[in-house]
Structure formats: structure tokens, C-alpha cells
Amino acid sequence: MSAPRIPLSLALAALLCAGPAFAQQDISKVNGSVVAQAGRPYGDVETVNGSVSIESGASVRDAETVNGSIRAEDDISADSLSTVNGSIRVGRRATVRNGVETVNGSIFIDQGGRIGGDIETVNGSIGLVDVDLAGSIETVSGDITVGVGSHVAGGIRIEKPSANWFPVRVSKRKPKIVIGPGAVVEGDLVFEREVTLYVHDTARIGKVTGATPVSYSTARAPRE
């Protein structure tokens, strides 16, 4: 017995009714925070003065703010995450197809994250825990921790501060770089300014320029 046929008009009506539930809505503000709700797909999510929150399981294209932080919960996906004045914190098992970037603020990616581009800051620390990074890590004055089990396919670069960056003020403190247990950095590690570089005995790194690695075997790097 064949299945009953659904009239074309009813099928089209059902699709039109269902459409908004699956639409990738853009969210854009000048002042105020924005939220990508749990489990829903979005287009671009952006604000100028305010934070961006991406709840668990949500997907977005580009998440951007100028003056504000970005907080992403577990199991999110995005094309990119970027801010100017603010930190970026990403939960577990996140997928970011391109890069993660801030100027003044820290970046932290939790366990199981997969980042398809680069991770960059100017003034701000960078921390990874069991993260697969296809690109490189770049900063000027931030500390870097490539934590346990992380894999960085590109290299690490600490750039020399430039007077041409005014009005961005760069810290003069010496950055601390830690390559943790079982971590791998395949590319070159290039340091254009003085740093302290700690490399765990079980880690594997590429060629180092501008620093002398200090080996350690404890669960955490030595305190300075």
C-alpha cells in the first residue's frame, strides 16, 4: 500500500512556517551585550560596547565586539572570534574554523577545542588545554601556555614592540612561555624580545630562535 500524497500547497505552507526556526539570524548592536542562545544557529553576532555570550551548542559565523569580552560555553561552533578591548574564553569541544584574536585581553581555549586559524593578542595571555590549533600563536607582551596534550601545527612568535603602534601601549615585562606535558609545537618558536621559555620533558617543539629553553619535569612549570 503506497503512502498518502501530501498536497504541494500544504508542503510549502509547512516549510514557510518552519523557516524562521532554522534561519541564521544576525545580531548587531552598538551599545549592549548580545547572546547567541543555546543550541541555535546564528549568522554574525556583534556589538561595539558590550559583551558577546555564546551559549552551549550554539553556532555563529563571526562573533565580534570592540569594548567587551567574548564568553563561549561548551560545544559551540564559530567562524571567528574577535574583540579589541576584552578577553575571550571558550569552553570545551569548541570548533572555530578561522582565528581567535584580541588586542588588550587574554584568550583561553578549554579541552577538546579545534581552532582552524591563528590565535593572536597584543597585550594578553594565551592559554590552551588539550587544543588542536591548525595555525600559529602570536603576541607581543602576553604569557603563553600550550597546555597538556595541545597540538600547535604552526609556530609561536613573540613580536618586538613598535613605536608605530601608538596609541596601543605594550607592557615591558618579560613574557613567560610554557610548553606543557605532552604538548607539540611543530613550527618554529621565534622570540624578538626577551622571554622565559619552559619546555616539559615530554613536549616536542620546533626550532627556537631568540631564547634558551629551560627543561622541567614536574606537573607545572617553575615559578619565577
Section 115-132 average pLDDT = 97
| Residue 81 confidence (pLDDT) above 80 | yes
Write the CA distances from 132 to 6, 128, 197, integer angstroms.
47, 9, 21
| Residue 6 confidence (pLDDT) above 70 | no
Indicate the helix (H) or strand (E) that contains 52: strand 52-54
Split at pLDDT 50, 70, 90, the class of 19 is: very low
Section 10-37 average pLDDT = 69
Indicate the helix (H) or strand (E) that contains 10: helix 8-22
Residue 163: per-residue pLDDT: 61
| Residue 12 confidence (pLDDT) above 50 | no
User: How far is it, in rounded angstroms, from Cα 185 to Cα 43?
Assistant: 33
| Residue 97 confidence (pLDDT) above 80 | yes
Residue 21: per-residue pLDDT: 45
Count other C-beta atoms under 10 Å from residue 4's C-beta: 5
Write the pLDDT tens digit of every residue in 146-177. Answer: 999 999 999 999 998 876 655 556 667 899 99
| Residue 13 confidence (pLDDT) above 90 | no
Whether the bond between 20 and the residue before it is cis, its omega within 30 degrees of 0, is no
Residue 28: per-residue pLDDT: 93
Split at pLDDT 50, 70, 90, the class of 17 is: very low
Q: Using the structure block, give the residue that is written with the C-alpha cell 620533558.
A: 201
* C-alpha cell at position 132: 588542536
Residue type, 24: Q
User: How far is it, in rounded angstroms, from Cα 105 to Cα 148?
Assistant: 22
Quote the pTM value.
Answer: 0.86
Q: What is the mean pLDDT of the chain?
A: 89
HEC-encoded secondary structure of 93-127: CCEECCCEECCECCEEECCCCEECCCEECCECCEE
Residue 43: per-residue pLDDT: 96
Residue 11: per-residue pLDDT: 41
Residue 173: per-residue pLDDT: 80
Nearest to 107 by CA among 134, 150, 157, 145: 145
| Residue 185 confidence (pLDDT) above 60 | yes
Residue 24: per-residue pLDDT: 78
In this structure, the strands spanning 70-72 and 126-128 are unpaired
Count other C-beta atoms under 10 Å from residue 114's C-beta: 16
- First CA to last CA across the chain, in angstroms? 78
Write the pLDDT tens digit of every residue in 54-72. Answer: 999 999 999 999 999 999 9
| Residue 2 confidence (pLDDT) above 50 | no
Q: What is the C-alpha radius of gyration for the chain, rounded to an integer number of angstroms?
A: 21
Kindly report the backbone phi and psi dihedral angles of residue 183, in degrees, each rounded to the nearest multiple of 5, phi listed first.
Answer: -80, 155
